[in-house]
Amino acid sequence: MALATRAGSRSIPALIWRSTIGKKTVMAVSGLIMLLYLITHMLGNLKVFFGPDEMNAYAQWLRTIGEPFLKHEWFIWIARVGLLAAVVAHGVAAYQLSRLDLAARPVKYAHTRRRTSYATRTMRWGGVILGLFIVWHILDLTTGTVNPHGVHGEAYENVVATFSTWYGNVIYIVALVALGLHIRHGLWSAVQTLGLGSRTRDRALRATATTVALVLTAGFVSVPVAVMTGIVS
Amino acid sequence: MTTMNLTLRIWRQAGPDAEGRLTTYQVSGISPDMSFLEMLDTLNEELILADEEPVAFDHDCREGICGACGMVINGAAHGPERTTTCQLHMRHFSDGDTIDIEPWRAAAFPVVKDLVVDRSAFDRIIGSGGYITAPTGSAPEAHATAVPKPDADTAFEHAECIGCGACVAACPNGSAMLFTSAKVVHLNVLPQGAPERESRVLDMVGTMDAEGFGGCTNTGECATACPKGIPLTSITAMNREYLRAVRKR
């Protein structure tokens, strides 16, 4: 007779979604998907330095990826659905895990002291800021709803219009600094969750996370800085 | 020899369901060579002479090897030095200091009285897989099962865990990941632990979650507080074991 183990009766989805380690794996994988997207997004944004024609042509090309196998704009919609799933999975898992974490320490210490790094302590609220930023960012530069220019097909002009307003610059730069901090801890943490870290690799992994965070933030922030300084207009 | 006068703010709680609060005490004539627990013994002698209830705290070996003692001293599990509370000496404090002393804080570690918490949740985690199912009897011949030296070193390093609970106390999420991973890695790296490698990690993590410990956010507070130096990569190794066990189902 087989010995009955507690885990013996649980299915793989239950072992993933109902355990803290499994749910963190969902966060790690969805986070890495979003990070890969952000790297290509940042590199694509740098097209703004080559003028409106090249930038707008690039924005149009994104809609033609996969043709003729895929129909026009199919690729971009598949990517959007995938990214939305990643954002929702990441957010729901983070919310549920945070609820558990807060419930596990019901009485706080009277003697408080500064714990962990700034990047680590700001993961939760930084994540909320990023979620709100994504909503504004889509309304601004995807749908054009809140964009001062807001013309479809004129990506370059829309970007310049946003970063010609003080609030556009403030929202964007604050969110991108939050993104850098989030990735600084999140990338290293995701690697640990997936069990890929080790003592010999740790320094390299921390350095990689810091580098990716800095390069990504600098690449994104270079666009509003270029508009503010008149390099891009 | 110079002695110290100290102000102590100690968490006093009469029972599990009683209201607790920080109570201020003065102690004088504390030698820098005293251990932290001897300093509390001094306070308790005075409290007993004054017909007051002494401060309850856990302790046993007072040699730093049993894991019974433990309190949060000035916000740090086991205090400012990387050791157990019994091996913390008063020379790390100065005359006139105010020291805050609180119990381990975690939903899974309910306060029994004052600084004593119920850590039996740890026993239930161990009971769900922190062992090998094999007849023990007398000690086996040492060369019967060959263990590669690096694996033996890893197992010994993780077997050092004394189950004091400082990792849970230090973690902002009250997570028991470092405690659980120490035992999972200790046994899973050895050939004797191999037959139950998958069920061990799945069951122990399942119990850990069910006991109401929080999840890991890789803050590293646990490994910093651990008096036995269980490394943070132990948690990474348990994550790897867990995902491996899920894949193998």
* CA closest to B218 among chain A residues: A189
Residues paired with B72 in a beta bridge: B77, B102
Q: Which of A9, A105, A116, A191 to mutate to test the interface with B (most CBs of B within 10 A)?
A: A105
pLDDT for B140 equals 80
B10 lies in the same domain as B92: yes
B134 lies in the same domain as B19: no
Domain closes at, from B102, B130, B158? B102
Q: How confident is the model at residue B136 (pLDDT cuts 50, 70, 90)?
A: confident
- Asked if the bond preceding B110 is cis, omega within 30° of 0, the reply is no
B15 lies in the same domain as B88: yes
For residues B133-148, give the mean pLDDT. Answer: 84
Rounded to a whole number, what is the distance in Å from the CA of B128 to chain A's nearest CA? 8
- Please report, as a single letter, which amino acid is at residue B114: D
- List, for residues A86-126, the tens digit of each pLDDT value: 999 999 999 999 999 999 999 999 998 777 788 898 999 99
Residue in B206, B212, B233 nearest the CB of A6: B206
Q: Are A131 and A87 in contact (CB under 8 A)?
A: yes
CA–CA distance, B151 with A178 (Å, rounded to integer): 41
Instruction: Name the burial class of residue B188, with classes exposed (0-12), middle (13-18) and buried (19+) by CB atoms within 10 angstroms of its CB.
Output: buried
* Contact check, Cβ <8 Å, A196/B22: no
B138 lies in the same domain as B235: yes
- Residues of chain B with pLDDT > 90: what percent? 93
- Residues of chain A with pLDDT > 90: what percent? 88
How long, in residues, is chain B? Answer: 249
* Contact check, Cβ <8 Å, B108/A106: no
- List, for residues A144-197, the tens digit of each pLDDT value: 999 999 999 999 999 999 999 999 999 999 999 999 999 999 999 999 999 999
Residue B183 has pLDDT above 70, yes or no: yes
Contacts of B214 in chain A (CB under 8 A): 20, 100-105
Q: How confident is the model at residue B1 (pLDDT cuts 50, 70, 90)?
A: low
- Please report, as a single letter, which amino acid is at residue A232: V
Q: How confident is the model at residue B244 (pLDDT cuts 50, 70, 90)?
A: very high
B148 lies in the same domain as B241: yes
- Listed residue (A138, A36, A24, A34) closest to A92, CA to CA: A24
- Please report, as a single letter, which amino acid is at residue A13: P
Which pairs with CB-CB distance under 8 Å and at least 24 residues apart come from B132-139? B132/B187, B132/B192, B132/B193, B132/B195, B132/B196, B133/A3, B133/B195, B133/B196, B134/B192
Rounded to a whole number, what is the distance in Å from the CA of B227 to chain A's nearest CA? 18
Rounded to a whole number, what is the distance in Å from the CA of B190 to chain A's nearest CA? 18
B175 lies in the same domain as B92: no
Strand arrangement of the beta sheet that strand B72-73 belongs to: B20-30, B4-13, B98-102, B72-73, B76-77
* Domain carrying residue B183: 119-247
pLDDT for A1 equals 41
Give the number of domains in chain B: 2
CATH class for domain A20-104+121-228? mainly alpha
Rounded to a whole number, what is the distance in Å from the CA of A124 to chain B's nearest CA? 10
B33 lies in the same domain as B153: no
A66: left (phi over 0), alpha (psi -120 to 50) or beta: left
Across A15-19, B12-16, B113-117, B157-161, least confident range = A15-19
- List, for residues B93-134, the tens digit of each pLDDT value: 999 999 999 999 999 999 999 999 999 999 999 999 999 997
**Helix (H), strand (E), coil (C) string for A35-99:** HHHHHHHHHHHHHHHHCHHHHHHHHHHHCCCCCCCCCCCHHHHHHHHHHHHHHHHHHHHHHHHHH
Q: What phi and psi values does residue B8 have, to the nearest 5 degrees? A: -110, 135
Q: Are B12 and B23 in contact (CB under 8 A)?
A: yes
B93 lies in the same domain as B139: no
Residue A4 has pLDDT above 60, yes or no: no
* Contact check, Cβ <8 Å, B105/A22: no
CATH number of the structural domain spanning residue B205 = 1.10.1060.10
- Listed residue (A134, A140, A178) closest to A159, CA to CA: A140
B35 lies in the same domain as B94: yes
pLDDT for B139 equals 83
Instruction: Name the burial class of residue A151, with classes exposed (0-12), middle (13-18) and buried (19+) by CB atoms within 10 angstroms of its CB.
Output: exposed
Across A194-203, A210-219, B111-120, least confident range = A194-203
**Which of helix, strand or coil describes residue B198?**
helix
Contacts of B100 in chain A (CB under 8 A): 110-111
Q: Is B111 domain-assigned?
A: no
Find how far residue A38's CA is from the centre of its chain. Answer: 7
B144 lies in the same domain as B70: no
CA–CA distance, A233 with B126 (Å, rounded to integer): 65
- List, for residues B42-70, the tens digit of each pLDDT value: 999 999 999 999 999 999 999 999 999 99
Contacts of B217 in chain A (CB under 8 A): 101, 120, 123, 189
Q: Are B216 and B164 in contact (CB under 8 A)?
A: no
Chain A contact for B108, CB < 8 A? yes
CA–CA distance, B215 with B171 (Å, rounded to integer): 10
Q: Are B146 and B212 in contact (CB under 8 A)?
A: no
Tokens of A13: 């989805």
- Please report, as a single letter, which amino acid is at residue B162: I
Average pLDDT score over chain B: 96
B85 lies in the same domain as B193: no
CATH number of the structural domain spanning residue B12 = 3.10.20.30
Contacts of A116 in chain B (CB under 8 A): 172, 219-221
For residues B177-203, give the mean pLDDT. Answer: 96
- List, for residues B19-39, the tens digit of each pLDDT value: 999 999 999 999 999 999 999
| b/e per residue A198-232 (b: at least 16 CB within 10 A) | eeeebeebbeebbebbeebbebbbbbbebbeeeeb
What is this model's ipTM?
0.92
Q: In chain A, where do the E strands start and end?
A: none
Domain closes at, from B75, B102, B129? B102
CA–CA distance, B77 with A112 (Å, rounded to integer): 12
Domain parsing of chain A, residue ranges = 20-104+121-228
Q: Is B108 domain-assigned?
A: no
B163 lies in the same domain as B237: yes
Contacts of B241 in chain A (CB under 8 A): 195
Give the count of beta carbons closer than 10 Å to the beta carbon of residue A34.
20
